[in-house]
Structure 1
Amino acid sequence: MTTQHRTYDRHGGCTPNPEDFPSAPQEVVSPPSLENLSCASPNLGQIKEPEPISYATVQEQRCVLSWFQGWSTTQRERFLQNLLEKAVPGKVCTLLDSLRTLQVKDHLPNIFECQLRLWNQWFQSWGEEERNSFLNMLEERDPELVAHFYRSVANTAGRD
């Protein structure tokens, strides 16, 4: 049995003996560089963590979801068509879209049309993760509509 020797300072506190601490490993390993800690580092071969969604984007998404709750079935279907056009551009074309490109308007835009315009602007500024996040939130509100959206996207496979 070994006896540990401790020294005491002038206030009566114990001062540990260097032998009380484990020895340092013989092999020195340098800490990883910032590049190796980065999620975007190609050397790690890991999946990149999703970027956090900005506060402004979250507010935009909440706003659209709030509008969505107040829309009629017809308006929701039009919104779904708009979302489908964004998901598979060039594969879905409606008569209404064709008329819009001709600038045929016989009335002032209503609130729903203004909301769709804002939605279009916001959606274009969102990244892929933000768009996916929005779709997940929409699915929580209306799973049937989102299921219909996924079926519609699948039905466009093979179209030019």
Structure 2
Amino acid sequence: MSWFYHVSQGSNEQQPQLSDTYSPPGLLTLPSPPQCSAPPTLESLSCASHNAVPGGGSLPVSYVTLQEYRCVMSWFLGWTSPQRERFLQDLLGKAVPGKVCTLLDSLNTLQVRDRPPNIFECQLRLWTQWFESWSEEERNHFLLVLEEHDPAFVARFYQSVAGTAGRE
């Protein structure tokens, strides 16, 4: 199963919705620190209970991953239209790796420079490091978070993924 399961399930099927117990007002709601004398365990810092989905399951998003989501969303909301387009191409390359059409698009963005990278390029590098460390469920959850903030962007992403079908 691919990490962008919405496309692979077809556009007519309903997307999973977060339960009524999880409705973030801002970028994402963080859990309160535990009120106990012993230091918290990593499991108790997990945000999985805040990410419950219908049917009793949960989206296992760690506290660290949640912070990474928040950073990427903060950057995304400040990016210009060309930067968002570049991010879309990067996301597409991660969704359908090995497709010639995405490889060619990626080659067009490579440049040899004698100057240090700009802030946007550093953000994309950090995004890539984080994304590679996320599980499939965390990647899918990131798309849900991104869709909350920019449904048109995510719709374009899904259209782009669908457009690579049958192309090598």
> Do Structure 1 and Structure 2 share a fold, with TM-score over 0.5?
yes
Distance apart, 1:151 and its partner CA:
0.3
Structure-1 separation of matches of 2:162 and 2:143: 16
Kept in 2, the 8 Å contact 1:84–1:152? The answer is: yes
Tell me how large the CA RMSD over aligned residues is.
2.0
- What are structure 1's unaligned runs of at least 5 residues? 1-46
When normalised by structure 2's length, the TM-score is 0.61
Q: Which residue of 1 aligns with 2:142?
A: 134
**Aligned partner of residue 93 in structure 1, secondary structure:** helix
Superposition map of 1:113-124 within 5 A = 113-124=121-132
1:131-153 CA-partner distances (Å, limit 9, x unpaired) = 01100110111111110000000
Look up the equivalent residue of 2:140 and give its one-letter code.
N
Within the candidate set 77, 89, 104, 1:94 is matched to: 104
- For residues 114 and 153 of structure 2, the distance between their equivalents in structure 1, rounded to whole angstroms, comes to 30
1:107, distance to aligned residue in structure 2 (A): 2.3
Matched residue pairs, number? 112
- For residues 107-152 of structure 1, give each alpha carbon's deviation from its aligned partner in whole angstroms, at most 9, with x where no partner exists: 2100000000000000000001100110011011111111000000
Q: How many angstroms apart in 1 are the aligned matches of 2:109 and 2:75?
A: 25
Correspondence 1:70 to 2:78: yes
Comparing 47-56 with 61-70, which one deviates more in the overlay? 47-56
Q: 1:148 to 1:110 in 2, by over 3 A?
A: same
Change in 2 beyond 3 A, CA 1:124/1:145: same
- 1:50/1:129 contact within 8 Å kept: no
The one-letter code sitting in structure 1 at the alignment partner of 2:95 is: A
**Separation in 2, partners of 1:145, 1:51:** 22
Asked whether the 8 Å contact 2:147–2:154 carries over to 1, the reply is yes
Select which of 111, 114, 117 maps to 2:119. 111
Aligned to 2:153: 145
Residues 60 and 122, structure 1, Cα contact 8 Å, conserved in 2 = yes
- Match 2:92 to one of 67, 77, 84: 84
Quote how far apart the aligned CAs of 1:52 are. 1.7
Q: Which amino acid aligns with 2:137?
A: E
Q: Secondary structure at the match of 2:116?
A: coil
* Superposed displacement of residue 99, structure 1: 6.2
Larger radius of gyration: 1
Counterpart secondary structure, 1:140: helix
Q: Are the equivalent residues in 2 in contact too, given 1:79–1:116 (CA < 8 A)? A: yes
